[in-house]
A and B are shown apart, each in its own frame.
Chain A
Amino acid sequence: MDPKGRELSETVWTRLDRKAGAITELTIRQLRHRISTWVVLAVGALVMALLLAFYVDAIRDDFEPVDNDGDSVDWDKDGYPQGQENKYGTSDWDGQEYPGSGYYVMTGEIDWNDNPRSHSGNHTWEGQGYLDAEWVDLDYTGSRWSGLIDWGDTNSCQEGDAFDDWYLEWGEACIYDDGSYAFSGKFRASGSVSVPESLYLQWGHMTLASYVEPEPASMYIDEDGILWDGEDVSEIGTEVDDDGDCLANPNDDNRDGIPCNVIWILDADGNEIIEIRADYNVNEDPEESKYLGESSHRTFIIGTGKMAFVMMLGIFIPLFLALGLVRDETENGTLHYLLSKPIHRAEFILYRLLGYLLLAGTYILVLVLLMALVTSLIGPGDSLIRLSDFPVWLGIGLATVLVLAAYGALYNTLGLIAPKYGVYFCIILGIWEFIMGMFTMTLPEASVPMLSISHWALQLIDAIVLIAWPDTLQYAQITSAFGIDSGLPFFWQPPVHTLGTQSPVAALLVSITVLLLITVAMIGIGQASFKNREIM
């Protein structure tokens, strides 16, 4: 084709395309030529691998039954788990007190103000005073863990009045030359006891002991399950306190007048559970395999998406890669080559960002797809591959790419507006975004984090999750109502910015729009600033 014909066949657009292609390609090649790029990308991949390793490890364990209310533990090491001790009304904090152990019953006392200050008999004593003993139970082990007097370790009493000139430690006794004792603590003896002014003593006896068969700890794991199968909301019935720990000590936390029950609140259509109000200690220890598997899997995806992708990769990759897109060229003096070509400075910024975004975006998408593939293959569920995970992973990828674009544009623009101060602003902004991200995780409805980019990206993930898995809300409710330890309520809360519609789609659109607006606005500001920049 002759030059003239070629020119005719070419539109402005194809020429623009070629310029865009050239600058984009140059940008990618430049980034590829820096070791730091590879280090950053490799570290990102390493983080993902580490997460996957933990995930695989957790999946292999097959969600062991977890004792959510902690009553399978034998805290005082007396052979009876807490649940059994609770049932018999004994304390699980006192090794001497267990089902059938007998317990102390107080029968009398000398108060601080009482007048007759002595008493005799065969009792279990507790307090401070002088003892004239006929018989002392040297092997007494009592039922409380503190203040037991060790009779094998008594010394001679010091000179002077006990409890006046000197004091005995709690749990100690000493012997006088005449064979009487001064004591401070608990013991069993027969004899007469006198109590000095302003001290206290009580006495009583232990009930008879009997043998109670200890129950295995496994009886108290997953012992208070949810009757509803977790799938069809129409089958929701009345929940019962299976293990009786609520009924033993009834409460009405949800204030419906009925103790130990659960209220399920459905949405207007009656299809989804939007809130669960349970009385304390009802269904507090359900079977993990039934609820934790799915819930943990989702938590992993959401947590990885939010923390690893948006907050770690999303904030730091642009700091490393986008900060110098135009600024470095100015500093190095290589900008002259590019700007002496027939290309508008505004286009130049756009194509530079495009190049960066292509590299970083491809990287993110590859990582996301790898994560999606691995987790959906080994994740819980009957099907071979969990296809419903993919929209969420893609949503995470979308959120991260949008964040990369917004930060890239922001950092780049800051570097253009303030060539000297800009980088310092970028570092401070990075920290701000990080803190706001943390805030958004815990308090999504707070208003200050709305001033950050990470807030909108996290909201976007929240929205995508609710669209792809509408029952996540129900899982989150079950998890927080019945104390299942999956972390779902920490990592996921329903999206906030629904414009009053409660629709996750609205929230998704709002978030995407905000992120795009920030990107476009930042590019615009950068272009306006760069267009009027004199380049020395």
Chain B
Amino acid sequence: MSNDGIDIEGGKTRMEVAYGAGDGDDEAKAIVASKEAELGTIFEQSYRPWDGELGPRWTRNYAIFRHHVYGMFRSTGHRHYHPMVRLTIFVILLFSLMPVLMLFLASLTGDGYMADVFSRMWGINRYNLWGQVLGYFPRNLCCWPLLTALVVGGMISDDRKNGTSAIYFSRPVTRLDYTAMKYLSVAVVLGFVIVLSYFIYYTSAIVFNGEGWAYLVDTLPMFAGGLIAGILVVITYTSIGLALSSISQSRFFAAIAFLSVIYGTKLLALLIETQFDTSILYVLSPYDCLAQIGQWLLGIDSNYNHPLAFSLVSIITINAACIALLAARVSSLEVTRE
């Protein structure tokens, strides 16, 4: 069979339809052979190199990103998050917004003793901004680790278990894109809860108290410090979580491993500190390193005895090691069902 049997000039090939740069809806028709085939004919496979234009890389990556993030809000068509997971995340978000409610109530009570108490407990100051992101109880004891564990658990391990990574790697998506988008999706979901709630807290405090520009300018450096701390929390937890997810076979192992890393190191360091009067082991605990850096960023006295540099180095090391592990695992991820 010669080339006249295949419509090369007109229409688009499948590749173009699937990955082409066009908007796709007008001519979304795949034509491979135009001649009606007879029974018993051996198809002469006539390939032609595809020299069409691949859609921009970011659109493909955005599709991966969207797939993971939209799944939080919509139940169909995107990555499936268990309803229980979504409910828990919603509860955590509500809980982290509780100070906003308190500030609102405080703004209703007007001036007086109660308003003073309210504003001291929930108003903007260095300690409260730090606490909104890095306070141990309940934020970092119950909320953020649970949130991360639930979001990150199946992120890569599910692909490994179900072999769905093939869906990505059989398309023009590099492993780097795949990993980066997974990372970004997790970070965005975590950031949605951790950073956004912090942001809402700060802005609502200003709105409810009717503060002016001067106040805003005064507190902005503090706010920025807390914001950086919050972003650091998101990045670190995402790195650890994804690294664990990439080495696990099941999503629950990843989730449990993440929790045991966060709680285990904290508990061990606490045990050593109370007994042997040294806070050095806190460098092993991601939470405590973040807390110390956050204290520095917000200008609060550190309640750790070891130098800040240790925590900084530790956080950089933890992130680097986790990302290296993640990269190594993803680059050796076999495109089969394991």
A300 to B277: give the CA distance in the assembly, Å.
12
Whether the pair A435, B141 counts as a contact (CB closer than 8 A) is: yes
Over the window 112-137 of chain A, the binary record of Cβ atoms lying under 8 Å from chain B Cβ atoms (1 yes, 0 no) is 00000000000000000000000000
A319 to B261: give the CA distance in the assembly, Å.
13
Whether the pair A304, B271 counts as a contact (CB closer than 8 A) is: yes
Chain A residues whose CB sits within 8 angstroms of the CB of B82 once the complex forms: 420-421, 424
A55 to B272: give the CA distance in the assembly, Å.
9
B260 to chain A, nearest CB (A): 5
Q: Known A300-B275, A311-B267; judge A427-B84 contact (CB<8 A).
A: no
A299 to B272: give the CA distance in the assembly, Å.
11
User: Does chain A have a CB within 8 A of B41?
Assistant: no
Partner of B253, one of A299, A320, A430, A485: A320
Whether the pair A58, B141 counts as a contact (CB closer than 8 A) is: no
Over the window 262-296 of chain B, the binary record of Cβ atoms lying under 8 Å from chain A Cβ atoms (1 yes, 0 no) is 01100110111011111001000000000000000
A123 to chain B, nearest CB (A): 39
A296 to B247: give the CA distance in the assembly, Å.
40
Chain B residues whose CB sits within 8 angstroms of the CB of A54 once the complex forms: 272, 275-276, 278
User: Does chain B have a CB within 8 A of A434?
Assistant: yes
Over the window 114-155 of chain B, the binary record of Cβ atoms lying under 8 Å from chain A Cβ atoms (1 yes, 0 no) is 000000000000000000000001000110011001100000
Whether the pair B271, A431 counts as a contact (CB closer than 8 A) is: no
Q: Known A424-B84, A427-B256; judge A51-B150 contact (CB<8 A).
A: no
Whether the pair A427, B253 counts as a contact (CB closer than 8 A) is: no
In the complex formed, the residue of B with least CB distance to A36 is B253
User: Does chain A have a CB within 8 A of B335?
Assistant: no
User: Does chain A have a CB within 8 A of B69?
Assistant: no
Partner of B271, one of A36, A51, A428: A51
Whether the pair A307, B150 counts as a contact (CB closer than 8 A) is: no
In the complex formed, the residue of A with least CB distance to B145 is A431
A487 to B142: give the CA distance in the assembly, Å.
26
Over the window 469-508 of chain A, the binary record of Cβ atoms lying under 8 Å from chain B Cβ atoms (1 yes, 0 no) is 0000000000000000101001100000000000000000
B residues within 8 Å of A by Cβ? Answer: 82, 84-85, 88, 137, 141-142, 145-146, 149-150, 248, 252-253, 255-257, 259-260, 263-264, 267-268, 270-272, 274-278, 281
Whether the pair B260, A58 counts as a contact (CB closer than 8 A) is: no
A51 to B268: give the CA distance in the assembly, Å.
8
Whether the pair A491, B274 counts as a contact (CB closer than 8 A) is: yes
Q: Known A51-B271, A304-B271; judge A431-B142 contact (CB<8 A).
A: yes
Q: Chain A: how many interface residues by the 8 Å CB criterion?
A: 39
Whether the pair A431, B267 counts as a contact (CB closer than 8 A) is: no
Whether the pair A485, B146 counts as a contact (CB closer than 8 A) is: no
Interface residue ranges of A418-464 to B (CB < 8 Å): 420-421, 423-424, 426-428, 430-431, 434-435, 438
B23 to chain A, nearest CB (A): 40
Q: Which 7 A-B pairs have the closest CB atoms?
A: A307-B271, A316-B260, A487-B274, A424-B84, A319-B256, A423-B252, A54-B276
A312 to B285: give the CA distance in the assembly, Å.
14
A476 to chain B, nearest CB (A): 14
Chain A residues whose CB sits within 8 angstroms of the CB of B141 once the complex forms: 431, 434-435, 438
A200 to B260: give the CA distance in the assembly, Å.
62
A407 to chain B, nearest CB (A): 12
Q: Known A424-B150, A427-B256, A431-B146; judge A308-B263 contact (CB<8 A).
A: no
A386 to B31: give the CA distance in the assembly, Å.
85
A476 to B317: give the CA distance in the assembly, Å.
40
In the complex formed, the residue of A with least CB distance to B136 is A438
Whether the pair B255, A427 counts as a contact (CB closer than 8 A) is: yes
Q: Known A424-B88, A431-B146; judge A490-B264 contact (CB<8 A).
A: no
Over the window 34-63 of chain A, the binary record of Cβ atoms lying under 8 Å from chain B Cβ atoms (1 yes, 0 no) is 001000000100010011001101100000
Whether the pair B252, A323 counts as a contact (CB closer than 8 A) is: yes
A533 to B267: give the CA distance in the assembly, Å.
39
Identify 8 new A-B residue pairs, CB closer than 8 A, beyond the known A312-B263, A312-B264, A487-B275. Answer: A58-B276, A308-B268, A312-B260, A420-B82, A421-B82, A423-B252, A434-B263, A487-B274
Partner of A50, one of B146, B256, B268, B270: B268
Whether the pair B142, A435 counts as a contact (CB closer than 8 A) is: yes
A105 to B253: give the CA distance in the assembly, Å.
72
A426 to B142: give the CA distance in the assembly, Å.
14
B268 to chain A, nearest CB (A): 6
Whether the pair B259, A430 counts as a contact (CB closer than 8 A) is: yes
User: Does chain B have a CB within 8 A of A99?
Assistant: no
Whether the pair B264, A47 counts as a contact (CB closer than 8 A) is: yes
Chain A residues whose CB sits within 8 angstroms of the CB of B276 once the complex forms: 54-55, 57-58
Whether the pair B275, A303 counts as a contact (CB closer than 8 A) is: yes
In the complex formed, the residue of B with least CB distance to A57 is B276
Chain B residues whose CB sits within 8 angstroms of the CB of A55 once the complex forms: 276
A304 to B271: give the CA distance in the assembly, Å.
7
A299 to B264: give the CA distance in the assembly, Å.
19
Whether the pair A430, B275 counts as a contact (CB closer than 8 A) is: no
A43 to B146: give the CA distance in the assembly, Å.
21
Chain B residues whose CB sits within 8 angstroms of the CB of A438 once the complex forms: 141
Chain B residues whose CB sits within 8 angstroms of the CB of A311 once the complex forms: 267
Chain B residues whose CB sits within 8 angstroms of the CB of A47 once the complex forms: 264, 268
Chain A residues whose CB sits within 8 angstroms of the CB of B146 once the complex forms: 427-428, 431
Chain A residues whose CB sits within 8 angstroms of the CB of B267 once the complex forms: 307-308, 311-312
A443 to chain B, nearest CB (A): 13
Chain A residues whose CB sits within 8 angstroms of the CB of B281 once the complex forms: 50
A249 to B252: give the CA distance in the assembly, Å.
61
In the complex formed, the residue of A with least CB distance to B252 is A423
Chain B residues whose CB sits within 8 angstroms of the CB of A323 once the complex forms: 252, 256
A55 to B275: give the CA distance in the assembly, Å.
9
Partner of A299, one of B88, B150, B275: B275
Over the window 396-430 of chain A, the binary record of Cβ atoms lying under 8 Å from chain B Cβ atoms (1 yes, 0 no) is 00000000000000000000000011011011101
In the complex formed, the residue of A with least CB distance to B258 is A427
A58 to B277: give the CA distance in the assembly, Å.
10
Whether the pair B277, A485 counts as a contact (CB closer than 8 A) is: yes
A312 to B260: give the CA distance in the assembly, Å.
8
Whether the pair B259, A431 counts as a contact (CB closer than 8 A) is: yes
A512 to chain B, nearest CB (A): 24
In the complex formed, the residue of B with least CB distance to A34 is B249
A423 to B153: give the CA distance in the assembly, Å.
12
Chain B residues whose CB sits within 8 angstroms of the CB of A296 once the complex forms: 275
Kindly name the residue among A55, A296, A323, A423 whose own CB sees the greatest number of chain B CB atoms within 10 A. A423
